[in-house]
Structures are given as structure tokens and as C-alpha cells.
Chains A and B, each alone.
Chain A
Amino acid sequence: MIYFQVLANGLVLGGLYACIAAGFSLVWGVLNVINILHGTFIVLGSYIALFSYNFLGIHPFISVITAGALLYLIGHLVQSSLINRVIAAPVLMTLTLTFGLDLLLNNLMLVAFKADYRKLVLDNPLGRLELGPIFMPLDRIAAMGLALLLTFLLHRLLRDSRIGRAIIAVRMDREAASLMGVNVSRINAITFGLGAMMAGAAGSLLSIVYPISPLNSGMFLGKAFVICVLGGLGSVPGAIVGGLALGVIESFGAIWFGPEHAVTISFTLLILILIFRPAGLMGKRGFE
């Protein structure tokens, strides 16, 4: 049954997509900022994994930590020094700001790393899983498992930690949170840092699936958009549902309509959902 294989491919991809979107969704939901930089952050994570593996022999699954940490620092810095200055300005301003930053960072990466697509080839792949009719490289399954684990950890962090509660408070009501003693600027920076961290981690995991190039940033950003709209905004479970849904939709779309139509399908879906179910498939409205 080819459909089982397609479904399995979709779910494995979807787990990684969830990780892509979780950070994007967090930033959008809490800060009301669309982070155009997100795609470039993901690619940067991939490069960190690539160089760590090629020069230091560090496995991408370990690089998740270094890439996450580095991107957190970058994200924290970008928010506290730049975006916080215009956080109260109209949507257009923050959008344009992150767009400008993306042009800057992406172009610098193009100059530094060149545009050609590079592949991270593992020396000792884990082999593959055969489950009846389904074949799946174990590395991919492990990457998906790690992606979902990371997404779950983010969820726990938001729910159970002090910082997480403060982030939720800011999301619900910025003013009330500041009156209750939450340092909103600092929480903004931490939130954006966490978003970037998730992007870096996702990038590192994606390095074993996708070829790596700065030109891919737009594709990742597009996926993050679609997933957020599919799953509803600002919630981690929404990102997981949206990610898995997109993964499955893309896999089936590829065999039914051809892989070249993946973008058309997902963006058509995005427009239709925005028109008919603006709160996402889960039906919960996030933050506008």
C-alpha cells in the first residue's frame, strides 16, 4: 500500500514542520510580530550543524543544543536592541523591520556561504526501519522524534515555568502584565530568543533532510506561515497539529498533483482557511 508510505513520509516531515512553526507561532502570538527572519534563522541553524559536523565531527542531533543556544542569543539581542523600539508601532512597521533585517542577514549569509546547495551526509547512518510496506530511514525518525520532543519541551516551559507564565501573561494582556510587575521588554526579548532558538534547533535537525542554502529561507518561512494558519495562532499544540497536517497534505499533494505544485497547494489552502476559518482548523483564536 503506497498510501501508508506516503502517510508515514508526511508524518515524519510534519514533526519537523511542527518544530519550524512553534517558534514562529510563539513570536507572532505573544509579540504580534511576524518574524520574517525566521526562515533565515532556520538556515543558519542548518549551517551551524553542517560546519560542526564537517569540521568537528559533531552529530547534528548534538548541534541542536549549540545551534539553539546561539540563535537564542541572536534573537534576544535583535529583540532587545531593535524590535523592542517599535513594538508598539503599527503592524506594517515591525513587518518592514524584520524584512529589512532578513535582507541583511540573508545577504551576508549568501556572501559568506555562497548560494549553492550543500548536503550534510552522515558517515554512519542509522539504517532504516522496515515496517510491513513502509520504509523509513531511522535518522529521519530520530530527527522527527527530537523535533517533537523539543516542541513539547517548549510547551512545558510555557506552561510550568515562571518565565513561561510571564510570557503567557504578556500575551493575554500586555498592560496588565506590566502592572503586575512583569518586565515586558525583557519578556519580549526572551520570547523572541525562544522563537529563534526553536528555529536554530529545527534548522539543525533539518540539515539531514534538506539541502542547505540561504535560498531556502523563503521556503521555510512560507511553511511557517501556512502551519500557523492551519493550526491556529500562538499555541504550541496548534503548531504540532498544523505541522503534521501540512506534512501529510504535502506528501499526498505530491503524489496526486506532482511535487512541483506543493507551494501552490499549501498557499491556496492558506488563503481558503484565512477566508473561511480564520481561527485555524482547531478553531481557537490566538492573538490578533
Chain B
Amino acid sequence: MKHWLWLAAFVAACALVPLFGNNYALRLATIMCLYAGLALSWNFIGGMAGYPSFATAAFFGLGAYVSAVLQAKGVPFVAAWAAAGFAATIFAALIGMAILHLKGHYFAIASLAVVEVLREVVNTAEGLTGGGMGINIPLQGMSADVQARLFFFVMLTMTVVLLAATIIVSTSKLGFGLRCISQNEDAADILGINTTFYKVAAFSLSAFGVAIIGAIYASWVQYIEPPDVFDILYSVKPLVMVLLGGLGTIFGPVIGAVLYLALEELVWRNFLTVHAAVLGALIVALVLFLPNGVGAMFRQWRKRPAVQS
């Protein structure tokens, strides 16, 4: 119950942005929702099931392209987004059945290779995707202001859906099974958990969320090209956000996304040429000093004065 109240609070806070904020704030809030959505999606496979997936960029790019190609053929954008989500879900289920029996680094590399291959495939299929030239998805008949608001609310809705899904999954049999798998897969198997099914479910769920966000992103920026949407940073950033907020927790990915965006903005503005280096240093510091995320630090800090209980 408590989770749902927090969710409502989050929505209320976000919904205030377009009322009071300027366009810059609206843009940041949209990116924040995008990041939070990616982090929440990755959390299903990476946090709950404990599988270090780097396939996020593959799903992001796949979603963006499926939706862009469909829209170029005249499909309305909402239908194209949904189609992108389902295409990625099926793709992830098939790929997942093939690579989810790999453990640790092997899985990580296989999932990374999926990104590379998919990017090249899209690059090569010029007839359909425009190849390296990219693809335009103009959105006609709407002022820039209206568009900015529209995409903010769409992105927010998606984040809320994913957050709700996270709450439901983590308190359900699926989430419980995934936690078992992440801690000891052999024991989970012996305990009667259909580990393959659970892992594939988590991977597909993750792909579904990421792909729809990718599709919305494509419509928002109105132009995509392979190196942009298949950027490996889309695989890495959600992972860092989740680490920042707390692996496998419910609100950790959202908190991590907010913190990450704040850091990114600060770094971008002040250290333009070395922003990647500063980001790298932050990641290093995070792994070394806050391996359980800021959430854990906060909890520990709260525990200390609790003498009376």
C-alpha cells in the first residue's frame, strides 16, 4: 500500500512541472522520465533476476526503428509505439531463450553483441530504415509548445506504468522467483522454479518497456540514426542509475535516474570536454564507495539513531 502512495506522490510532483516550469524544465523532466523508464525496465532483468544485461540499447533502437518505419508507412503514432513494444517483446523472448542460459560475463557479452549486430543490420537495411542516413518522423499539425507537453505526459505515463508494473511484479510470485534466481539459481531450480521461463519473462518485460520508450523518443526527437539509438550508453546508463538507486528495489531506479540526470546536467554544463571522464570518475566512485546505492546509505543512516525500537 505504501508503495502506491509513493507512486501517487511521484506523479503529483511530476505533473506540476508543466504548470510552473519553463521549456527547459519540461525538457529535463521528459528526459528524467525517459531515464527512469529505462532504469525501471532494466531493473527487471538486471536488478531482480541479477542478469547483467547490456541489451538495453538493442531494445531501445529496435523500438525506435520499428515505430519510425511504421510511422513512415502511415501508421498512427500510438499504434506504432504499441507495435514497437510487442515486436521487442517477441524479439527478447527469442533471444532470451538462446542466451539466458549463459552466466555472468558470458551473458553480458552476448547481450552486448546483440546491440552491435542489430545496429549493423539496421545500418545495412537501407531500403527499410534509410541506413546510415537515418529516418525522419515529422509530427505535423502541432505547435512546439504542445508537442513538448504531449511528449512529457506520454513519457510520464510510461514511467508510471513501469513503476506500477515494478510494484506488482516485486510483490508477486514472479518477483519472488526472480529474487530466488538472482541469489542462487541452482537452488531455485531444485525448489521447483521454472528458471528459464522466469528469466525470459523478466527479459521480455524489460524489452517491452525499453522499446516503447525508444519509440516515444524517436517521435519526440523526430529524427533517428543507428549510432544515436543503438548507442551503447543506453545500455550502460540505466545500469548506473539502478546501481545508484539500489539494485532490485522498487523506487531505487527512479531515485537513481533523478540523481544521475542531476549529475549529468551539472557535469555537462561545467565540464563539456571532459564530461565523459567526470562521468567515468563518478561511476568508479559509485562502485567503490556506494556499492548498494544511496538508498542503502540512507537506510543505514536512519538505522543508527533507532535505539528505542
Contacts and interface: CB of A to CB of B under 8 A. Distances in A.
A261 B106 contact: no
Interface centre among B50, B281, B291 (most CB of A within 10 A): B291
B280 A271 contact: no
B113 A267 contact: yes
Contacts of B52: 91-92, 95
Given A111-B273, A263-B116, A270-B113, A90 B50 contact: yes
Contact of B287 (A86, A229, A261): A86
Interface string A96-117: 1101111111111011000000
B26 interface: no
B283 interface: yes
Q: What does DSSP make chain A's interface, helix, strand, loop or mixed?
A: helix
Nearest to A276: B98
Given A92-B46, A95-B52, A104 B284 contact: yes
Given A96-B283, A264-B124, A274-B109, A103 B277 contact: yes
A267 B288 contact: no
A274 B99 contact: yes
B120 A261 contact: yes
Interface stretch (B142-150, B169-177, B235-243): B235-243
A102 B291 CA distance: 19
Interface residues of A, number: 40
A93 to B, nearest CB: 5
B108 A95 contact: yes
B103 A288 contact: yes
B194 to A, nearest CB: 20
Nearest to A28: B105
A179 interface: no
Given A86-B291, A271-B114, A34 B108 contact: yes
A274 B106 CA distance: 7
A270 B287 CA distance: 29
B279 interface: yes
B232 to A, nearest CB: 8
A100 B279 CA distance: 7
A261 B117 CA distance: 10
Interface string A68-109: 000000000000001001100111110111011111111110
Given A106-B276, A108-B274, A108-B277, A91 B104 contact: yes
Given A96-B240, A107-B277, A107-B280, A270 B109 contact: yes
Nearest to B247: A92
Interface in B110-127: 110, 112-114, 116-117, 120-121, 124
A107 B273 CA distance: 8
A105 B276 CA distance: 9
Contacts of A97: 283-284, 287-288
A107 B276 CA distance: 6
Given A32-B105, A92-B239, A274-B106, A103 B116 contact: no
Contact of A103 (B98, B273, B279): B279
Interface in B138-189: none
26 contacts: A32-B105, A34-B105, A82-B284, A89-B291, A90-B50, A91-B104, A93-B291, A95-B105, A96-B240, A96-B286, A97-B287, A99-B283, A100-B279, A100-B284, A101-B284, A102-B280, A105-B280, A108-B274, A222-B116, A264-B120, A268-B113, A270-B113, A271-B110, A274-B109, A274-B110, A278-B102
Given A107-B277, A271-B117, 10 more contacts: A28-B105, A32-B105, A96-B243, A97-B287, A100-B279, A100-B284, A106-B276, A108-B274, A264-B120, A267-B116
Interface of B: 46, 50, 52, 98-99, 102-106, 108-110, 112-114, 116-117, 120-121, 124, 236, 239-240, 243, 247, 273-277, 279-284, 286-288, 291
